[in-house]
Amino acid sequence: MYKTLHAKISSLYYQQVPATGIGIFRILFGLVTLQEVFFLLYFNHLIFDPIPFLDVEFPMIPFFLCIWAVVATCVTLGYRTQKATITNYILWLVFVSFTPMQRDFDGGFDLFMIGANLFMIFMPIDKAFSIDTLKHKLANPFKHYSQYSEVKVSVLAYYIPVVICLGFLYFDSAIHKMFAQHWRNGLGAWLPASMPYYISAIDMGWLLNYEYIQKSIGYLILIFQFSFIFLFHYSKLRPLYFIVGAGLHFGIAITLNIYPFGIGMLIFYTLVAPFSWYKNIATFLSAKTPSLTVFYDEQCPLCSKTILTLNHFDIFNCIDFKGAQSHASNFTTLNNIKESTLLTDLYALDKHNNLFAGVATYSQILIKMRYTAIIGYLLKTPGIFHLASKIYRNIADSRTRVTCDETCIPASPPLLTFTLYDQIFSPSSARTQRFNIHKLSKILLLFLLLQLNSSIHYGFFYRIDHNIKPSAINNLVSSISNSFVNYSSVFLGITPHALYLHDHFEGYNHLIAITYTDNAGDEKWLPFVTPEGKLEAPNWGRVHSMWANIAVTPNIDNHRLSKFIMKTTAFWGIQTGLDLNSTTFHIKLKKIASPDYWVHNLLKKNLSGTWKTIGHATWDDKDINISIPEDINQL
């Protein structure tokens, strides 16, 4: 096995491809992290307080979440990427492992994000669309941007994260799915989408009523997940696996209320997309001819840095920046402006030979760059324009000019930020390269063994353990295996992916909601579960997991249910402006069905039905009195 893996790593180690997809992946990963931090900030009292608002055990949580937001922003922008990704990994690790997030509010993708973030530490994520790349250019301001070639990286930077974070996950998940009857019946996608707790605001009931389409989707998922790790890297099959995989996760993101899981998986397809697609898309989106020509003083360090910065963000190549000294023949086009005058300002010409200078030039640049157009138009508004002109004039008139020629360009321009990727994939000697290939092979073999341990432990032994007579050897092997699973799960994100199987839905035949009686004596629904039984936005993601996967299950535990009734009534009661001590909350139950065979109009039937009151909850300061039947499962 090791020889085969080593041979494969050796063949791919030197293969170079553009870094475009990795840069896009970094941006999307940072944005997904950022939205999850904002989600945690909004629900921080529900998630982290023992009693929301009434017993605040971690008052510094919002402060650390704000720090996390800053770190996620740095990852998104590609600023100090090595430090930012390491810090981001630690924050994911700490919040998931040492707060109630994983125990009571599992987002369904936390461990996946930890594993992905771990690989980002070793990926060349600073090589495209990053501030660090711009910093590298600004270190040599007199080198024209056209002299920088496209950065290329080892194809392993794409393949390794995809194999481990997607390939291992899919294969492990497919093993678990084979133990679920509704998945074997082809209804793995249909059943969750027919459960009111799990659906988003988009009505997909019409599609769920086509039995053969739903079964085709279910079996397609199984085939896709079993085969992905073996076939996705073949160039002719990559478009197929991209379309199917991206389509499936996009479907999860828009049709189920576990959108963070769908989006978190979807962003990985920036690494699966065929490399030629990025070049073709860039060609299609780029301007065929520049919309604006900007002339600048190429012997001024500040001007050169400004041009490098503007060009860095001109992703559609809409602006052509030209040095005034090198293009003196264009002066006649500029209404015969003298060179001495030209060098005092930033001048620009559009396609219609309209001349712009100073702040007006910056406004036109922002407008022509397309995605910054709103800022450009805002800069033209009275007041803002005059203030910007005053600031610009002070800077432009106080700048100093230097004389520069080829000697200004260093013989060996500095490398991009030296990262762990550079240490592994950019060594100076062939001997070091061979050593790194051996090291990579051993590390990947370790990941493979840890994933096999998790898959075998939970995919087989855990499910058949009750049929095996206990023995000392069995207990010892199980204990050792479980220890490895615990560590690999926490630090590497390698975990069983037994999601939405028979043990989750079998017997899931009831929904629970909460209402309250207002001061006028009217019964109203808490903004949590709707009268149809849906979880109302924004109670999705990890809040959905708290209620639909932990509080309300096929076998409801009254202690857990009471705990989350307490949390929900306190949080949404106070958020709604209710006086908890004078409000009576009513616990409602409605029957639904979760069969492992196809039923026409199941979603509509589950959304309809009659609620009945099965209990009440009242508050007395920080104490809550909840009265519910001892065995709700029998109702």
Quick one: pLDDT at residue 401?
Answer: 53
CATH number of 287-408: 3.40.30
Q: How far is CA 289 from the centre of its chain?
A: 35
Q: Does the pLDDT of residue 416 top 60, yes or no? A: no
Neighbours of 101 (CB within 10 A): 20
How confident is the model over 253-301, as pLDDT tens digits?
999 999 999 999 999 999 999 999 999 999 999 999 999 999 888 778 8
pLDDT digit string (tens) for 45-59?
A: 999 999 999 999 889
Q: Average pLDDT, stretch 181-202?
A: 94
Answer yes or no: pTM beyond 0.85.
yes
What pLDDT was estimated at residue 413?
Answer: 47
Residue 226 CA to residue 80 CA, distance in Å, equals 38
DSSP states of 257-304: S-HHHHHHHHGGGGTTS-HHHHHHHHHHHS-SS-SEEEEE-TT-HHHH
Average pLDDT score over residue span 435-442: 88
* Residue with the two structure tokens 């190549």: 317
Which comes out higher in pLDDT, residue 186 or 404?
Answer: 186
Q: What is the three-state SS of 582-635?
A: HCEEEEEEEECCCCCCCCCCHHHHHHCCCCEEEEEEEEECCEEEEECCCCHHHC
484 vs 347: CA distance, rounded Å: 64
Is residue 49 classed as helix, strand or coil in its secondary structure?
Answer: coil
Question: Residue 353 in 3-state DSSP?
Answer: coil
Residue 263 tokens, joined: 């989006």
Q: Which residue has the higher pLDDT, 79 or 111?
A: 79
What is the model's pLDDT at position 469?
A: 57
For residue 326, give the amino acid letter.
Answer: S
Which of 34, 20, 32, 29 shows the shortest CA–CA distance to 129?
A: 20
Lowest mean per-residue pLDDT among 358-362, 434-438, 442-446, 494-498: 494-498
What are the distances in angstroms from CA 32 to CA 39, 82, 261, 522?
Answer: 11, 18, 10, 40
- Is the CB of residue 271 less than 8 Å from the CB of residue 156? no
Q: Which helix (H) or strand (E) holds 228?
A: helix 211-231
Confidence band of 200 (pLDDT split at 50, 70, 90): very high
Q: Of 160-169, 428-437, 562-571, where does the model show the most confidence?
A: 562-571
> CB atoms < 10 A from the CB of 506, how many?
16
* Average pLDDT of the chain to the nearest whole number: 88
Question: How do residues 504-542 score in pLDDT, each as one tens digit?
Answer: 888 899 999 999 998 888 999 999 999 999 999 999 999
Question: Is residue 198 very low, low, confident or very high in pLDDT (cuts 50, 70, 90)?
Answer: very high
pLDDT tens-digit map of 296-329 = 887 788 888 889 999 999 999 999 998 876 665 5
pLDDT tens column, 203-253: 899 999 999 999 999 999 999 999 999 999 999 999 999 999 999 999 999
HSE toward the beta carbon, residue 368, CA cutoff 13 A:
25
Average pLDDT (161-173) is 92
| Cα–Cα dist 256/405, whole Å | 60
Residue boundaries of the structural domains of the chain:
287-408, 507-634
How many helices and strands (H and E) does the chain possess? 29, 11
Q: If we measure between CA atoms, which residue out of 191, 198, 247 comes closest to residue 218?
A: 191
> Using CA of residue 457, residue 462, residue 465, residue 467, what is the dihedral sign?
negative
pLDDT score for 6? 85
Has residue 415 got a pLDDT over 50? Answer: no
- 123-132, 425-434, 601-610, range with the lowest pLDDT: 425-434
Tell me whether residue 361 is exposed, middle or buried, using C-beta atoms within 10 angstroms of its C-beta: 0 to 12, 13 to 18, 19 or more. buried
Nearest to 515 by CA among 416, 382, 613, 600: 613
Q: Are 9 and 437 in contact (CB under 8 A)?
A: yes
Write out pLDDT tens, residues 545-602: 999 999 999 999 999 999 999 999 999 999 999 999 999 999 999 999 999 999 999 9
Task: Return d(Cα 145, Cα 309) in angstroms, integer.
Answer: 10
**Calpha distance 364→295 (Å, rounded):** 13
For the chain, percent of residues with pLDDT exceeding 90: 61
